[in-house]
Amino acid sequence: MNQTANYQLNQWDPADRILRTDFNSDNEKIDAALKTSADAIAAETAARESAVSAVSGRAGLQLIREGSITEDANTINLQLTDIDWSQWRAVHLYVEPYTSTTSKTFSATWGSNSSYSFGSMSGNRAGEAPENLLHIILFPLYQSQRYICAISMGVSSPGFVEFSSRFGADKYIRLSYTDTTYLFQAGTIYKIWGEK
């Protein structure tokens, strides 16, 4: 009796006896070969998923957190204490401000120090497509002890800013109206991304 080239499965000639044990032997070989193949596919799939995950963790923008304010307020403090500045090349803050007026401007500052200003800008009317969007790109460059440097966009005078305060300081970004007559409205959106 002949056998196949790869798995040595039985091949009957006309004169060969047909025995149950030959079929059982073939089935055991097929079962073992299928299991080996399935295990190899599973291992390769896991390895590829792990590799993709590792690359994804170091590519593009990653959302650190997002939210929208639930109460009207004159001042919003966006706490940044959860950010490990040593892990990011850049951190992006995006704010879609909805405000009680669009004719008055609010300021964006690093902490409460008004001299650490990213600029001032107007808000948007609730229910309308937003036109005024704040986008601040902070550049820690993997160093929490670096002085704050950033590009500020959406403000009336966009540009580069640098402050004598460090990323690692326990800080927040403050959006605030000087006059308490004016409010940020509930629904104002903020998003923080990290960039590797």
- Catalog residues that contact another protein under the rule CB under 8 A: 65, 67, 69-82, 111-116, 164-165, 169, 172, 176, 178-180, 183-184, 190
Tell me whether residue 75 or residue 122 sits nearer to another protein (CB atom): 75
Tell me whether residue 139 or residue 177 sits nearer to another protein (CB atom): 177
Q: Taking the complex as a whole, how short is the minimal distance between the CB of residue 177 and another protein, in angstroms? A: 8
Q: Taking the complex as a whole, how short is the minimal distance between the CB of residue 52 and another protein, in angstroms? A: 28
Tell me the three state secondary structure of residue 110: strand
Q: Taking the complex as a whole, how short is the minimal distance between the CB of residue 126 and another protein, in angstroms? A: 16
Starting at the edge strand found earlier in the chain, the sheet holding 90-96 runs 61-68, 189-195, 90-96, 134-138, 147-153, 159-166
Q: Taking the complex as a whole, how short is the minimal distance between the CB of residue 178 and another protein, in angstroms? A: 6
What does DSSP say about strands 2-3 and 10-11: parallel, antiparallel, or unpaired? antiparallel
Instruction: Give how far Cα 9 sits from Cα of 27, 36, 176, Å.
Output: 9, 16, 79
Tell me whether residue 80 or residue 108 sits nearer to another protein (CB atom): 80
Tell me whether residue 9 or residue 73 sits nearer to another protein (CB atom): 73
Place of tokens 């008004």: 114
A 10 A CB-CB count for 51 gives: 10
